[in-house]
């Protein structure tokens, strides 16, 4: 069992349409996310409903400019080392179906 982390573990949190979640997670795992010690492909997911209203020059993948859209989505939380942040975020943007994916990073203060 590995008890020492060589680098700080942060968490990427994002939402994605449920049907696209496995593909986005696979892209993140291929980029190096999801590792904790001797475990790989670690993630926490929960289903819910996301909502947004595209405005201005938006080119939405789902929905119509000016109208509220509600989508069955999956919220995903994936660990990654701080050193991998740029590659992980690039993989998220490349694999995510939305024009502008909703995400944030929780930096581990420990």
For residue 110, the model assigns a pLDDT of: 73
CATH of the domain spanning 16-106, picked from 3.40.50.1110, 3.30.70.120, 3.20.20.70, 3.30.428.10: 3.30.70.120
Pick the range with the lowest mean pLDDT from 2-11, 59-68, 71-80, 88-97: 2-11
Is the pLDDT score of 85 beyond 60?
A: yes
Residue 29 and residue 22: Cα distance in Å, rounded? Answer: 10
Average pLDDT of 59-72? Answer: 94
Query: How many angstroms separate the CA atoms of 28 and 80, rounded?
Result: 9
Is the pLDDT reported for residue 2 higher than 70?
no
- Secondary structure letter of residue 7 according to DSSP: S
What would the pLDDT profile of 25-62 be if each residue is shown by its tens digit? 999 999 999 999 999 999 999 999 999 999 999 999 99
Q: Domain residue spans in the chain? A: 16-106
Report whether 77 contacts 43 (CB < 8 A). yes
CA distance to 11, 66, 106, per residue, from 77 (Å): 6, 30, 10
Give the length of the chain.
Answer: 110
């Amino acid at each position: 069992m590995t008890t020492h982390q060589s680098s700080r573990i942060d968490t990427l949190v994002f939402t994605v349409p449920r049907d696209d979640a496995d593909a986005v997670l696979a892209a993140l795992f291929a980029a190096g996310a999801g590792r904790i010690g001797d475990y790989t492909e670690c993630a926490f997911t929960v289903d819910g409903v996301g909502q947004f209203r595209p405005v201005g020059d938006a080119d939405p993948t789902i929905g119509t400019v000016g109208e509220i859209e509600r989508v069955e989505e999956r919220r995903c939380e994936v660990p990654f080392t701080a050193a991998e942040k740029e590659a992980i975020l690039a993989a998220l943007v490349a694999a995510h179906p939305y024009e502008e994916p909703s995400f944030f990073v929780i930096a581990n203060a420990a």
